[in-house]
Amino acid sequence: MKDHLKDELLELALEAARRAGNLLRDGRPADLGVAATKTSPIDVVTEMDVASEKLITGFLTEQRPADGFLGEEGASIEGSSGVRWIIDPVDGTVNYLYGLPSWAVSIAAEKDGEVIVGVVAAPMRGETYQAVLGGGAHANGEPVRVRHPAPPLSQALVGTGFGYVAERRAAQAEVLRTLLPRVRDIRRGGSAAIDLCDVACGRLDAYYERGLNPWDLAAGELIAREAGARTGGRPGEPASGELVLAASPGVFEELEPLLDELGAWHD
């Protein structure tokens, strides 16, 4: 594959994420309203989620009219170029709604079904993470790597997240009840994209979650992998909605069978 395609897509993703990040940061209304709910009354979409997705798809369509789109707030276009953009216009909407800083814009580009570019912009951290397939991962232009040497699982800091539906949360709490005494500690940051980038930067030793959608993980998974993380789902399977695990080598091998045994992949 021509590297100039990757370079072009990376530049466009960075610019789209920068513009959307600015809109979200500078345009956050004091009385931010909830525009609609998704899977449950606590799974909200604000007017700013919608505005951000519109900005991103508008900008990218102008630059590359033949590309496809998959966006959380409804963008769904097949396209004819073989390139498809996967967009989470605000990952960490609940944080954004409450004025907490951990939210991000996540933009990935796939070519013929393979993710080749990922950008996660976290404006309130002043950080943008990026990766190109085979080209390493960077934060604000500096190379990043997973934590090395990796600690044993008993000393690992593990991020996770919970779905929005009560039955799933009950099952996730059960997994956590067994896992918590076996690790250093647990973090629930509220943005899957940032969690994956935190694994990439060595700020978490591992992150797992059940129930993610492609837009939550496409960019962050590539960034984590390019930073040296191992990623997957159930043993031997790729990351998917069933289960996503990203961890430093070493921690991954300990956590993968344990999560499988604890049933982290089902409700």
* Residue ranges in 75-104 that form contacts with ligand IPD under rule CB under 6 A: 88, 91-93
Least separation in angstroms between residue 187's CB and ligand IPD is: 11
What are the residues binding Ca ion (CB under 5 A)?
Answer: 72, 88, 90-91, 216
216 binds ligand IPD (CB under 6 A): yes
Contact (CB, 8 A) for 227 and 246: no
Sign (positive or negative) of CA dihedral 169, 189, 52, 30: positive
Select from 7-15, 160-168, 198-206, 222-230 the region that touches ligand IPD (CB under 6 A): 160-168
67 binds ligand IPD (CB under 6 A): no
Least separation in angstroms between residue 43's CB and Ca ion is: 9
Q: Note every long-range contact of 181-187, with CB atoms under 8 Å and residues 24 or more positions apart, other chains counting.
A: 182/153, 182/154, 182/258, 183/153, 183/154, 183/155, 183/156, 183/157, 183/158, 184/151, 184/154, 184/155, 184/156, 184/157, 184/158, 185/157, 185/158, 186/158, 186/159, 186/160, 187/157, 187/158, 187/159, 187/160
Selected from 192, 199, 201, 247, the binder of ligand IPD by CB under 6 A is: 192
163 binds ligand IPD (CB under 6 A): yes
198 binds ligand IPD (CB under 6 A): no
Residues near ligand IPD (CB under 6 A) are 88, 91-93, 161-163, 190-192, 209, 211-212, 216
